[in-house]
Amino acid sequence: MNFVAELLQFGDREFYKDWWNSETVTYFWANWNIPVHKWCLRHFYKPMLKKGINRFLAQTAVFLVSAFFHEYLVSVPLKMFRLWAFMGMMAQVPLAWFVGRFLNGNYGNAAVWMSLIIGQPVAVLMYVHDYYVIHHGGTT
């Protein structure tokens, strides 16, 4: 991304921070994709706070919008609607609460890494399975 930013003479070259050291899920989501995070803050989160919506509800709403777009970006190319990406994103809300409240330091970092190592591959496998069943599966 930095190479493309250099070619296009893009001024803001901060695309990610040290997400791999995340001790909370919230820190991970705020630091792994800075442009998207800033866009969501500017266009969803801060306007909701200005309207008096509490922080937790605003964060949940931002995750809801993000989950919708993740599902959309998977469903359209595969031509199937399954909600695996949506549910995986929405599962991050209680996970973020749990990790932020009960796990500190390396334990929080381990929880973040376990969600990355287990969560995304399971979602991909669910889509692969469903795609295969729809397109190649037969009755036995």
Is the pLDDT score of 87 beyond 70? Answer: yes
**How many domains does the chain contain in total?**
1
Would you say residue 8 lies in a domain? Answer: no
Query: Is 55 a domain residue?
Result: yes
In whole angstroms, what separates CA 61 from the centre of its chain?
Answer: 13
Q: Catalytic: which of 37, 43, 70, 135?
A: 70
Q: pTM for the full model?
A: 0.79
Residue 14 in domain: no
What residues make up the domain containing 115?
22-137
Mark whether 70 is an active-site residue.
yes
Q: What percent of the chain is predicted at pLDDT more than 90?
A: 71
pLDDT at 138: 62
Burial (CB count <10 Å: 0-12, 13-18, 19+), residue 1: exposed
pLDDT tens digits for range 29-72: 989 888 889 999 999 999 999 999 999 999 999 999 999 999 99
Say how far apart CA 114 and CA 99 lie, in whole Å.
12
Distance CA 130, CA 113 (A): 26
